[in-house]
Amino acid sequence: MKKKTSFIKLFFYSFFTFTIIAALIAFSYYNKIYTGNTQIKNDKVFYLYIPTGANFTNVIDSLTKYNILKNKESFVWLSEKKKYRKIRPGRYEIINGMSNNQLINMLRGGLQKPVKLTFNNIRTKEELAGKISKTLEFDSLSLLNLLNNKEFLKPYGFTPKTVIAMFIPNTYEFYWNSSPESFFKKMNKEYKKFWTTERLSKAKKMNMSPLEISTLASIVQAEQSRHNDEKAKVAGLYINRLKKGMLLQSDPTVVYAIGDFSIRRVLNKDKEIDSPYNTYKYKGLPPAPINLPEISSIDAVLNYEKHNYIFMCAKEDFSGYHYFSKNITQHNIYAKRYQRALNQKKIWR
């Protein structure tokens, strides 16, 4: 009887001990899998950038470098259990207190967070490529090479000279590791989306193509970059000149032809530069936009103000607004005022 009692005691003791050990093991596994294992100092989130071609060691190195993991070993252990070895590049949002399971599922599934890309005040393809490369993974040269590739651009209806018109300044969402090709294709979709039936109809009534509208809009924007309420009036002036077969005589086109955007005063000698962008020398519109016109500038051209003005001159108070004239006599009066103001401020170039 004593032996039987001792056996029962031993059985219950062993069972109790085994249960405790099993519970401890289970609790340990649970902690490794489901307990929060990320720590973000000073911020609620951290963005982990995994470059194209990275391996698992690179991921661990990045997480360690920024001290994201409370326990690196548990992350590595679960990564092995979940067979996380195929690394998907991208920009990942890590939230404070994420578990190893959450973090691995996100990385393994490639569930990255897109970036917001905003561009405006761009004059050239080089500027555009430089701006984009500061936000997305690819370098500026790879995008620039694409924008200069005639064969690539041909199916889209653009050339290396005119492709700048395809990019409408705005804010867009992209995945950080987007390729130059995928970036271009999405921008082309945005371009087609922008040119609605209504906008295309207005352009057609003006006997102008979207490229011509954008080119004129770029001149309007260069002439009036501060006050949107005057853009339609400026657009109407240039429409009048085009209809009359007059030279557009826009100073910003000369600056673009020279390529020195620090110039604040265009001289008579500058107007002699031989360039298709020099509207003092060649009639009609330049072959392509001289900047990336904003939506407000494009719409100002499509909805230009109808009037009889054919001359304009910046006001001498440097407010950014202009005087408009119907004849050269009145225009020369305003021009002398402005030139006098430039001299007083010692703006020679």
The pLDDT tens digits for 201-222 are 999 999 999 999 999 999 999 9
Domain that holds residue 176: 115-194
Percent of the chain with pLDDT over 70: 91
CA pair distance 253, 59, nearest whole angstrom: 49
Quick check: 290 and 258 in contact, CB under 8 A? no
Cα torsion 94, 95, 96, 100 to 10°: value is: -60
pLDDT at 12: 53
Same domain, 338 and 212: yes
pLDDT at 221: 97
Q: Domain tally for the chain?
A: 3
Computed from CA positions of residues 239, 241, 247, 250, in that sequence, does the dihedral angle turn out positive or negative?
negative
pLDDT at 155: 97
pLDDT in tens, 100-146: 999 999 999 999 999 999 999 999 999 999 999 999 999 999 999 99
Asked, for residue 257, whether it belongs to a domain, the answer is yes
CA pair distance 63, 270, nearest whole angstrom: 56
pLDDT at 42: 78
In this predicted structure, the answer to whether residue 27 has a pLDDT above a threshold of 80 is no
More confidently predicted of 187 and 85: 187
pLDDT at 33: 85
Same domain, 279 and 337: yes
The token duo for 316 is 């001498």
Phi-psi sector, 306: left (phi>0), alpha (psi -120 to 50), beta: beta
Same domain, 122 and 104: no
Asked, for residue 30, whether it belongs to a domain, the answer is no
Q: Which of 109, 135, 158 is the last residue of a domain?
A: 109
**Helices (runs of H) and strands (runs of E) counted in the chain:** 14, 6
Asked, for residue 120, whether it belongs to a domain, the answer is yes
pLDDT at 272: 95
Three-state SS string across 23-89, please? HHHHHHHHHHHHCECECCCCCCEEEEEECCCCCHHHHHHHHHHCCCECCHHHHHHHHHHCCCCCCCC
Same domain, 224 and 337: yes
Same domain, 203 and 340: yes
Same domain, 236 and 326: yes
Same domain, 281 and 146: no
Mean pLDDT across the stretch 3-21?
54
pLDDT in tens, 256-309: 999 999 999 999 999 999 999 999 999 999 999 999 999 999 999 999 999 999
pLDDT at 349: 85
Asked, for residue 38, whether it belongs to a domain, the answer is no
Query: Rounded mean pLDDT of the chain?
Result: 92
Q: Which of 144, 173, 194 is the last residue of a domain?
A: 194
Asked, for residue 10, whether it belongs to a domain, the answer is no
* Residue 24: band (very low, low, confident or very high) from pLDDT cuts 50, 70, 90: very low
The long-range contacts involving 200-206, CB below 8 angstroms and separated by at least 24 positions, are 202/302, 202/303, 203/302, 206/239, 206/302
The token duo for 167 is 């990019």
Asked, for residue 8, whether it belongs to a domain, the answer is no
Quick check: 46 and 40 in contact, CB under 8 A? yes
CA pair distance 160, 201, nearest whole angstrom: 26
Same domain, 210 and 326: yes
What is the radius of gyration, based on Cα positions, of the chain?
32
Same domain, 209 and 331: yes
Q: Which of 194, 227, 251 is the last residue of a domain?
A: 194
Percent of the chain with pLDDT over 90: 86
pLDDT at 20: 58
Report phi then psi at 146, rounded to 5. -65, -40
Helix axes 295-302, 231-244, angle to 10 degrees: 50
Residues 6+ apart with CB under 8 A from 68: 38, 39, 40, 46, 48, 94
Same domain, 263 and 161: no
pLDDT at 153: 98
Mean pLDDT across the stretch 73-97?
94
Asked, for residue 32, whether it belongs to a domain, the answer is no
Same domain, 322 and 219: yes
Mean pLDDT across the stretch 166-177?
97
The token duo for 218 is 């770029």
More confidently predicted of 114 and 345: 114
Same domain, 179 and 221: no
More confidently predicted of 102 and 26: 102
In this predicted structure, the answer to whether residue 86 has a pLDDT above a threshold of 90 is yes
SS3 of 281, please?
coil
Asked, for residue 18, whether it belongs to a domain, the answer is no
pLDDT at 32: 73
